[in-house]
Chains A and B, each alone.
Chain A
């Protein structure tokens, strides 16, 4: 994401020593530059892809069988004309379900492990042993353990979302706890452990938790194809897998692109929502 920071409304009448006042037209100018750059990058990407297919590029990577962007668009049009909503709905529900349960549990357990040594000793090891297991490896157990295919699919997207959120939360809390000054300030003002946690540890951990949520959202999509292999009749991941099984190439790429788009979009939404909880931050990149 870009940087042009327009932090608080208050900056309009307050001029700090490090920030010049940003006029509206300047904001538009700076933003339009980054939008143009982003648009150009996407066009270049598709042109390169089309070009590599067109020359039948075949050096280490083989583009001979890769469908061109135009074929993918055609597959997409066909998909849209053919009741796409059931697939979207099925996938979106699974991702949201997995993400929300993963966030709640990941943040909760992360806060506990991050702030208590005893709980860390009891919980961290088994969780850490389960963490490296890839989503695909969970398929058989998910089928055996859950009453129906649908809940197994929720479980696999949940696994994808849970771990990055858990680890980021834990590390963010530990990092906050290592800031002795912030804690001493709270103690000298008379805060008890609960108040220290609520007013100091938690807000200072928010940036880390936010990063975990953004990665977790991406991972939930990542695991969607895997989840929808379990069973299915519906879902973007299922559609992708099915096309592979019947050797129909353009819909595979279409499924990939759709998952990429929806994953990126939902991560962006998560980022914006979490950013709105942290209005105090001013981020400047490239010295802007």
Chain B
């Protein structure tokens, strides 16, 4: 799919010693402190951590919604300080525009960033075909189930041909059956596009199943506790989750996360 636009050399995200702080009731609270990481082009990286560890803040920083208080984040050596169509974002909540049809939701991005010679309409139809929802092109989002809406959300983010796809717990609201199918589909899309994916989740199985690398986060302030390589063979399917290595890796994440969750739980009690 459009290999000239999507080359493997683009989509490198460098997080250089950043901190993100919020002032809340005259207090400076660090959501993240001194984080550094490099995400290589075409890599699938999960940011895993218990709730409240600042993983969404990190993603919002990469997306350009929040500017770090110090340090910098760059995409292909360009500093990020505002949202840009080079990075597609899939949100946790269903975030389709209710007043646009499914097709219009997807073509909205391409219609404002004319790129290549496909028309926005053609792009929308192509992506609808890819996510298997061509039949619903002219439906409004509230006529679709949650899983379908999230597929459209992914298509909408991809329709700009971004270099990086940012995903903020995109499958959190789905039932477990749908979630597994969505994960397999996401891997298929990722393979096809050779795109960098940064995926935030608190679900250990999800993170192990999807990633090349997991950035495990600690809480308050958020730091990267462990940079864990996931050496499971690809392509992955439901057999992967039964393999011995999968269970080992899950075990490792589990014990690390548990420590953090307990810490976070206790700290929140003392705040």
**Beyond the given A188-B87, A190-B85, could you list 17 further A-B residue pairs with CB under 8 A, ordered by the A residue number?**
A8-B140, A8-B143, A10-B139, A14-B136, A181-B93, A184-B91, A185-B89, A185-B91, A189-B88, A189-B157, A190-B109, A203-B97, A203-B100, A280-B141, A280-B142, A282-B142, A282-B143
- Closest residue of chain A to B96 (Cβ to Cβ) is A185
Query: Is the CB–CB distance between B139 and A191 below 8 Å?
Result: no
Contact of B156 among A181, A189, A200, A278 (CB under 8 A): A189
Query: Is the CB–CB distance between B85 and A199 below 8 Å?
Result: no
Q: Which residues of A contact B88 (CB under 8 A)?
A: 188-189
Q: Kindly state whether residue A178 has any CB partner on chain B within 8 Å.
A: no
Q: Kindly state whether residue A195 has any CB partner on chain B within 8 Å.
A: yes
Query: Is the CB–CB distance between B143 and A189 below 8 Å?
Result: no
In the complex with contacts A10-B139, A188-B89, A182-B109 CB distance below 8 A = no
Please report the C-alpha to C-alpha distance between residue A185 and residue B65 in the assembled complex, in whole angstroms: 10
In the complex with contacts A10-B138, A189-B160, A190-B85, A195-B112 CB distance below 8 A = yes
Q: Kindly state whether residue B224 has any CB partner on chain A within 8 Å.
A: no
Task: Give the Cβ gap from B174 to chain A, nearest Cβ, in Å.
Answer: 13
Query: Is the CB–CB distance between B87 and A14 below 8 Å?
Result: no
Task: Give the Cβ gap from A277 to chain B, nearest Cβ, in Å.
Answer: 9
Contact of B143 among A11, A192, A203 (CB under 8 A): A11
Please report the C-alpha to C-alpha distance between residue A10 and residue B102 in the assembled complex, in whole angstroms: 13
Please report the C-alpha to C-alpha distance between residue A189 and residue B109 in the assembled complex, in whole angstroms: 5
Please report the C-alpha to C-alpha distance between residue A190 and residue B82 in the assembled complex, in whole angstroms: 10
- Where the two chains meet, the residues of B that have a C-beta atom closer than 8 Å to any C-beta of A are 63-65, 82-85, 87-89, 91, 93, 95, 97-101, 108-109, 112-113, 136, 138-145, 156-157, 160
- Where the two chains meet, the residues of A that have a C-beta atom closer than 8 Å to any C-beta of B are 8, 10-11, 14, 16-17, 19, 181-182, 184-185, 187-192, 195, 199-200, 203-204, 206, 278-282
Q: Which residues of A contact B97 (CB under 8 A)?
A: 182, 185, 199-200, 203-204
Query: Is the CB–CB distance between A16 and B144 below 8 Å?
Result: yes
Please report the C-alpha to C-alpha distance between residue A282 and residue B144 in the assembled complex, in whole angstroms: 12
Q: Which residues of A contact B64 (CB under 8 A)?
A: 187
Q: Which residues of B contact A280 (CB under 8 A)?
A: 98-101, 140-142
Query: Is the CB–CB distance between B143 and A187 below 8 Å?
Result: no
- Closest residue of chain A to B115 (Cβ to Cβ) is A190
Q: Which residues of A contact B109 (CB under 8 A)?
A: 189-190
Query: Is the CB–CB distance between B93 and A189 below 8 Å?
Result: no
Task: Give the Cβ gap from A176 to chain B, nearest Cβ, in Å.
Answer: 11
Provide 16 A-B residue pairs closer than 8 Å at the C-beta atoms, listed in order of the A residue.
Answer: A8-B143, A14-B139, A16-B144, A17-B145, A181-B93, A184-B89, A184-B91, A188-B87, A188-B88, A189-B157, A190-B109, A190-B112, A190-B160, A203-B97, A204-B99, A280-B101
Q: Which residues of B contact A190 (CB under 8 A)?
A: 83-85, 109, 112-113, 160
Query: Is the CB–CB distance between B136 and A182 below 8 Å?
Result: no
Q: What's the dominant secondary structure at chain B's contact region?
A: loop
Please report the C-alpha to C-alpha distance between residue A200 and residue B99 in the assembled complex, in whole angstroms: 9
Task: Give the Cβ gap from A183 to chain B, nearest Cβ, in Å.
Answer: 10
- Closest residue of chain B to A185 (Cβ to Cβ) is B95
Query: Is the CB–CB distance between A188 and B112 below 8 Å?
Result: no
Q: Which residues of A contact B98 (CB under 8 A)?
A: 280-281
Query: Is the CB–CB distance between A187 and B145 below 8 Å?
Result: no
Query: Is the CB–CB distance between A278 and B63 below 8 Å?
Result: no
> Which among B142, B143, B145 has the highest number of chain A CB atoms within 10 Å?
B143
Please report the C-alpha to C-alpha distance between residue A254 and residue B21 in the assembled complex, in whole angstroms: 68
Please report the C-alpha to C-alpha distance between residue A16 and residue B136 in the assembled complex, in whole angstroms: 11
Contact of A278 among B95, B99, B138 (CB under 8 A): B99
Please report the C-alpha to C-alpha distance between residue A206 and residue B100 in the assembled complex, in whole angstroms: 13
- Closest residue of chain A to B85 (Cβ to Cβ) is A190
Please report the C-alpha to C-alpha distance between residue A111 and residue B136 in the assembled complex, in whole angstroms: 33
Task: Give the Cβ gap from A134 to chain B, nearest Cβ, in Å.
Answer: 37
Query: Is the CB–CB distance between A16 and B89 below 8 Å?
Result: no
- Closest residue of chain A to B146 (Cβ to Cβ) is A17
- Closest residue of chain A to B93 (Cβ to Cβ) is A181
- Closest residue of chain B to A191 (Cβ to Cβ) is B112
